[in-house]
A and B are shown apart, each in its own frame.
Chain A
Amino acid sequence: MINGHETLLSSQTPEMTRRNRSASLWQAIFFGAIVIGIIMLMVLLATIVNQAFGLVIIVDKVPAAALSDRPLEELSREELTTILQNRLSKNRFKTIQRDHAIETMPLSDLVNLVIDNVVQPQVKKSYPLLQSILNRSEILELAKSDYPDARVEFRSWLNRRFLTSTMSPRPETAGVRTAIMGSALLILITIVVAFPLGVGAAIYLEEYADSRRWINRVIQTNIDNLAGVPSIIYGILGLAIFVRALEPLTSGAAFGVVGQNGRTVLSAGLTMALLILPILIINAQEAIRAVPNSLRQASYGLGATKWQTIWFHVLPVALPGILTGTILAVSRAIGETAPLIIVGASTLIMKDPDGVFSSFTALPIQIYNWTTRPQDTFRNIAAAAILVLLALLLSLNAAAILLRNRFSRQ
């Protein structure tokens, strides 16, 4: 029956063919899952980029050429002030003088002030990137017929000015500087509060707590569940505890800060720290649990105390894992919007945060705010702000990964 090795080991048996077929089917399914995920991500990015760049039709109320024969950027402080004085009503100029320190503010800010108040460029229409490229000539024609005075230019909504100017009620002049600084300060407070607390709690639960005692099991179960609690509930908790109950502390009144309520960046940072604490604890616990027990035994065997063992052997080995967990948690915090709305982030604020007791805004808040406005142009700057947020997130993660790799090498 068996005629030699060919038959015995041949790959052409029906069973082999069936096995190969089912293997390649599963492989195709798994590959398809990845492809779908990547396509979704590309679509998301493309939509945002599409909105953030494109042609705009701009009509200046007073063309810059009518103000001076040189570009505004080259004018001196005196010349710019004169323009403001001449072109604006007395009251308006007084208001500006009151709100801005014209004599001391950076020259670029003064130029922006002139543009905002005198030139008053208005974006009549904006087009997404794809349309701008494909229908360029039609847009140009339309601009000529509908807005004879208009200039048509290609605008990257994500530009230096957008990054460096403060909020403004007009989308043409609005920027995200305040929001970037607010987000950065918020994340800093969150990390400073949550990291030591989270790692400390993880060390206690993994190294000290006797998991057979019911109280420790209750704590563990609660932490696991808290990681899944919707963020808005943390917002309400933060409102009740940090904004209201601890107002003297979070407003800085106890430290001599006057005229601030509890809706400070400190309150928001503490709320955010609460929000990511369970995630951080769970991740740190995983990392600590992954440290081989043989390492602890070796340390104890040399007459080391528990703390020496944890500090010199467990934590250094667990640190890369703990850092990875922190990255994940912070990435979540940086994009959170709901709790910030509840604890009272401002949506229109011109002043950069200058300490933990200042009012603030954050990038997600700005994005949320802008996407709810009726004008098209707000959606363009919302898209630009999303790109800023993504870049901030990526650079934060990259920094943490570099840090982690450095620790793993050691």
Chain B
Amino acid sequence: MENQMNHQPQDGQFAIQASHMDIYYGNFRAVKDCSLEVLPRKITAIIGPSGCGKSTVLRAFNRMNDFIPGCRVEGGILFHGQNIYAPDVDPVQVRKLIGMVFQKPNPFPKSIYENVAWGARINGYTGNMDDLVEETLVKAALWDEVKDNLKKSALALSGGQQQRLCIARALAVKPEIILMDEPCSALDPIATLKIEDLMRELSSNYTIIIVTHNMQQAARASDYTAFFTMDPDRSGIMVEYGETSQLFTRPRDQRTEDYITGRFG
């Protein structure tokens, strides 16, 4: 928290950094000239009205857009000094280091144990799997609720538990960054608070980027916030990026102020 006033630290201090990134769906430019530097071990929220490209930007960070036919990213995203869109980069390796939690809880239709263990196993984890499963479930604040039912199907859990299981599943691969795409939009307020607490907990070890529709959530749970909106040509653009407290109290841009005060969006 000591560095809060200066959100422009020196080079190499970013966990991941998008510079002048354009994202296209076919001929349509969905995101225009986005430059976003994400600080390590902080929670960065991306907010904005529907259709402004928040999720598209988030998915660009671990190349999940590769699976959308016709989607291409121009410009670059620097991760450990390397452009993850460079031709010699293995997208599978990128996704191992940059995990993802999705909008709708999507556990595998397998046991709770298998859900956590699978990712680690395919990534060649050779240590004690039982220990890893316990350790990750503890980190995801789910251990106490499921420790007696590890063999039970993950689909039998409640929505909030499923989402924490998905977080545990992502943690088991030992990523550096966790991307969360509206992780609480399908959950009730109590489950939402649990996830937010968990995010706060995790942010001491992981860099978290979260897309949210919920401005209170961004204000409550994030350290930094980026506000996106749509250009007149329907491309998404980043309007403002800064510390959450500053962006919500003293926005520099009129469009940000309109959005957070509810006059738009």
Is the pair B122, A308 in contact by a Cβ cutoff of 8 Å? yes
With A303-B173, A312-B118 as known contacts, state yes or no: A295 contacts B95, CB within 8 Å.
no
Q: How far is the CA of A297 from the CA of B123 in the complex (A)?
A: 16
The closest CB in chain A to the CB of B70 belongs to A212
Q: Does A305 touch B at the CB level, under 8 Å? A: yes
Q: How far is the CA of A299 from the CA of B62 in the complex (A)?
A: 13
Is the pair B95, A297 in contact by a Cβ cutoff of 8 Å? no
Partner-A contacts on B (CB < 8 A): 62, 64, 67, 69-70, 92-93, 95-97, 99-102, 104, 106-109, 118-119, 122-123, 166, 169-170, 173
Is the pair A302, B170 in contact by a Cβ cutoff of 8 Å? yes
CB distance from A99 to the nearest CB of B (A): 60
Contacts beyond the supplied A297-B64, A303-B92: 10 A-B pairs with Cβ under 8 Å: A211-B69, A294-B106, A295-B109, A298-B106, A302-B96, A302-B169, A302-B173, A303-B96, A303-B97, A313-B108
Q: Which residues of A contact B97 (CB under 8 A)?
A: 303
Q: How far is the CA of A301 from the CA of B92 in the complex (A)?
A: 9
Q: Does A300 touch B at the CB level, under 8 Å? A: yes
A/B interface sample: 30 pairs, CB < 8 A: A211-B69, A212-B69, A212-B70, A292-B106, A294-B102, A295-B108, A295-B109, A296-B67, A298-B102, A298-B106, A298-B108, A298-B166, A299-B108, A300-B67, A301-B64, A301-B95, A301-B170, A302-B96, A302-B119, A302-B122, A302-B123, A302-B169, A302-B173, A303-B92, A303-B99, A303-B122, A304-B92, A304-B119, A312-B118, A313-B108
CB distance from B69 to the nearest CB of A (A): 6
CB distance from A311 to the nearest CB of B (A): 10
Q: Does A153 touch B at the CB level, under 8 Å? A: no
Q: How far is the CA of A295 from the CA of B104 in the complex (A)?
A: 11
Q: Does A367 touch B at the CB level, under 8 Å? A: no
Is the pair A303, B106 in contact by a Cβ cutoff of 8 Å? no
Q: Which residues of A contact B70 (CB under 8 A)?
A: 212
Is the pair B95, A303 in contact by a Cβ cutoff of 8 Å? yes
Is the pair A301, B99 in contact by a Cβ cutoff of 8 Å? yes
Of B70, B95, B97, the most chain A CB neighbours within 10 A belong to B95
Q: How far is the CA of A308 from the CA of B101 in the complex (A)?
A: 19
Across the A-B interface, the 10 shortest Cβ-Cβ residue pairs: A303-B96, A302-B119, A301-B100, A294-B106, A303-B95, A298-B106, A308-B122, A302-B173, A305-B92, A303-B92
Instruction: Mark interface residues in A199-229 (1 if CB within 8 Å of B CB, else 0).
Output: 0000000000011100000000000000000
Q: Which residues of B contact A301 (CB under 8 A)?
A: 62, 64, 95, 99-102, 170
Q: Which residues of A contact B62 (CB under 8 A)?
A: 301
Partner-B contacts on A (CB < 8 A): 210-212, 292, 294-305, 308, 312-313, 316-317
Is the pair A302, B99 in contact by a Cβ cutoff of 8 Å? yes
CB distance from A304 to the nearest CB of B (A): 6
The closest CB in chain B to the CB of A317 belongs to B109
Q: How far is the CA of A301 from the CA of B97 in the complex (A)?
A: 10
Of A210, A212, A303, the most chain B CB neighbours within 10 A belong to A303
Q: Which residues of A contact B173 (CB under 8 A)?
A: 302-303
Q: How far is the CA of A211 from the CA of B109 in the complex (A)?
A: 28
Q: How far is the CA of A296 from the CA of B96 in the complex (A)?
A: 15
The closest CB in chain B to the CB of A308 belongs to B122
Is the pair B69, A210 in contact by a Cβ cutoff of 8 Å? yes
Q: Which residues of B contact A297 (CB under 8 A)?
A: 64, 67, 100, 102, 106
Q: Which residues of A contact B69 (CB under 8 A)?
A: 210-212
Q: How far is the CA of A300 from the CA of B106 in the complex (A)?
A: 12
Q: How far is the CA of A236 from the CA of B170 in the complex (A)?
A: 55
Q: Which residues of B contact A212 (CB under 8 A)?
A: 69-70
Q: Which residues of B contact A308 (CB under 8 A)?
A: 122
Is the pair B118, A302 in contact by a Cβ cutoff of 8 Å? yes
CB distance from B137 to the nearest CB of A (A): 16
Is the pair A294, B118 in contact by a Cβ cutoff of 8 Å? no
CB distance from A289 to the nearest CB of B (A): 15
The closest CB in chain B to the CB of A212 belongs to B69
CB distance from B91 to the nearest CB of A (A): 9
Q: Which residue of B93, B95, B118, B123 is within 8 Å of A300 (Cβ)?
A: B95
Q: How far is the CA of A18 from the CA of B118 in the complex (A)?
A: 59
Q: How far is the CA of A298 from the CA of B101 in the complex (A)?
A: 8
Is the pair B64, A304 in contact by a Cβ cutoff of 8 Å? no
Q: Which residues of A contact B101 (CB under 8 A)?
A: 301
Q: How far is the CA of A292 from the CA of B102 in the complex (A)?
A: 13
CB distance from A317 to the nearest CB of B (A): 6
Q: How far is the CA of A303 from the CA of B64 in the complex (A)?
A: 10
Q: Which residue of B95, B104, B109 is within 8 Å of A302 (Cβ)?
A: B95
Q: Which residues of A contact B123 (CB under 8 A)?
A: 302-303
Q: Which residues of A contact B104 (CB under 8 A)?
A: 294
Q: How far is the CA of A292 from the CA of B69 in the complex (A)?
A: 17
Q: How far is the CA of A1 from the CA of B102 in the complex (A)?
A: 57
Q: How far is the CA of A113 from the CA of B111 in the complex (A)?
A: 61
Q: Which residues of A contact B100 (CB under 8 A)?
A: 297, 301
Q: How far is the CA of A210 from the CA of B70 in the complex (A)?
A: 10
The closest CB in chain A to the CB of B100 belongs to A301
The closest CB in chain A to the CB of B96 belongs to A303
Is the pair A303, B109 in contact by a Cβ cutoff of 8 Å? no
